[in-house]
Amino acid sequence: MDTFPLFLNLQKQHTLVVGGGDVALRKCRLLLSAGAQVQVVAPTLVAELAQWAAQGQVVWLARDYQSDDVIGQRVVIAATDDTPVNQQVFADCEARGILVNVVDNPALCRFIVPALIDRSPLQIAISTGGRAPVLARLIRTRLEALLPQGYGTLARLAGDLRDAVKARFGDNERARRRFWQSALEGPAAEQALAGDSAAAFAQLQTQLAQADDTELNRGAVYLVGAGPGNPDLLTFRALRLMQQADVVLYDNLVSPAIVDLVRRDAERIYVGKKASNHALPQQDINALLVTLAQQGKTVVRLKGGDPFIFGRGGEEIEELAQNGVPFEVVPGITSAAGASCYAGIPLTHRDHAQSVTLVTGHRREGEIELDWPRLTNPNETVVVYMGVAQAPRLCEQLISHGRAADTPAAVVQQATLPQQRVLIGTLATLPQQIAAAQIKPPALIIIGNVVSLADKLAWYRAQQTA
């Protein structure tokens, strides 16, 4: 995070704008809307700003800037086209520890004025750290269309009810949060968005009076598929639950970018597994899920790919069911789908493969054992999860059981992420290619004639993103 986001309360606070042009006018308008007392120093003012000065909305010092002008100011904005003056304003503020912004010069800013979506008291600020303000405005325009004015009403009503909710639930922060999550997504929200604030407030009061303490304090576990790594491939349901969790257990295949989307104050527990190196044995993970839920917590078990495809999700929900813990499984894009799409390798194709089989290369007692004869059909695609370390034996066994040595094969490392790597070879050559390129997990192996399409489809994708 390059800058620290915050909102300043400038009600009746002294602020200074240096400059009297159109840019200064816009900054004064923003400060006045926040309730600030605005002083402007400039030899001349544009017409609208001069009118404000005549009406007493701003205080105008009709002269050039002087260093003492910043004394006593909460915030200073330099909005002139005079570089030496802007630099002097910044230096004077720095010497006195005053927040300063020099318009269009990020290097001389202690704060950034963001693009703003105003649904007061709800506000959304968008910033690029001063690097691309046009992009921030573009994003603001898109978000404006998604946020009805009624959200401001809903925020105001929630504020009006805040003390009553706190009195009702006391120090039970979890129950308070769950009440608000339910209330702000229910009928009251719809009424507020429709413009009926009285009905919305009455509905909130009714929900508060009828709140069930037992239900609000009940724990639950959500097994959430995090997909193959790219945050854009998360489901809406997954993201929503990640933002509501009290605690999140995540494994080795969940990318850091996805973990960053978890609610900021949720507890995060790493339970990842690597070959012969388990942060927490599976039995302990199962027991921990039960314990956390029985403590009344909302638990998200974040799993790479899909929980039910080599994710051991079935084992975890068996334990939950045996202990009477409520649970839900949220599917995710499995790694086979993500890797094949991003590598340009269709898993099925009318001319190349009429079926696909997913297997795991995870070994038991040091040896990979699969139904080798079953995997030799030339019209079938085989996708091997967790098979990089066993690639030599995997390819050797497939060839010895009848699959052609020149069958196309690929390995996709860190699929769907910017650092994705794809190696194309054959059953005969892939193990050596993996060793030479030092491919490490997470990686997926795809075997079958569909791999021959990779160059053609990867070329198309490159053209589309060029």
How many CB atoms neighbour CB 68 within 10 A? Answer: 8
Q: Please measure the distance between the N-terminal and C-terminal CA atoms of the chain and give it in whole angstroms.
A: 28
- pLDDT for position 105: 93
Binding residues: 22-23, 43-44, 228, 304-306, 309, 386, 415
Between helix 430-437 and helix 391-400 the angle, nearest 10°, is 170
Cβ neighbours of residue 57 under 8 Å, at least 6 residues apart? 32, 38
Dist. CA 117–CA 215, nearest whole Å: 35
How many angstroms separate the CA atoms of 348 and 230, rounded? 23
**Domain 220-333 falls under CATH 3.65.10.10:** no
In this prediction, the residues of the chain whose per-residue pLDDT falls under 50 are 463-466
Annotated domain spans of the chain? 14-113, 150-215, 220-333, 336-465
Which of 143, 79, 148, 89 lies closest to 113, judged by CA? Answer: 79
HEC string of the chain equals CCCCCCCCCCCCCEEEEECCCHHHHHHHHHHHHCCCEEEEECCCCCHHHHHHHHHCCEEEECCCCCHHHHCCCCEEEECCCCHHHHHHHHHHHHHHCCEEEECCCHHHECCCCCEEEEECCEEEEECCCCCCHHHHHHHHHHHHCCCCCHHHHHHHHHHHHHHHHHHHHCCCHHHHHHHHHHHCCCHHHHHHHCCCHHHHHHHHHHHHHCCCHHHHCCCEEEEEECECCCHHHCCHHHHHHHHHCCEEEECCCCCHHHHCCCCCCCEEEECCEECCEECCCHHHHHHHHHHHHHCCCEEEEEECECCCCCCCHHHHHHHHHHCCCCEEEECCCCHHHHHHHHHCCCCCECCCECEEEEEECCCECCECCCCHHHHCCCCEEEEEECCCCCHHHHHHHHHHCCCCCCCEEEEEECCCCCCCEEEEEECCCHHHHHHHHCCCCCEEEEECHHHHHHHHHHHHHHHHHC
pTM, whole model, 2 decimals? Answer: 0.78
Can you tell me the distance from the alpha carbon of 355 to that of 349, in angstroms, rounded to the nearest whole number?
A: 9
Q: Which residues are annotated as a binding site for S-adenosyl-L-methionine?
A: 228, 304-306, 309, 386, 415
CA atoms in the 13 A half-sphere facing the CB of 284: 10
Residues 6+ apart with CB under 8 A from 62: 42, 43, 44
Give Cβ neighbours of residue 338 (< 8 Å, ≥ 6 apart). Answer: 227, 228, 229, 230, 233, 305, 415, 416
CA distance 346 to 67: 67
| Contact indicator for 379, 408 with CB cutoff of 8 Å | no
Candidates 3.40.640.10, 3.90.1300.10, 3.90.1410.10, 3.30.950.10; CATH matching 336-465: 3.30.950.10
* Tally of CB atoms within 10 A around 170: 9
Catalytic sites, residue numbers: 251, 273
The CATH code for residues 14-113 is: 3.40.50.720
Annotated binding-site ranges for NAD(+): 22-23, 43-44
pLDDT at 464: 46
Q: How many CB atoms lie within 10 A of CB 458?
A: 16
d(CA 44, CA 50): 8
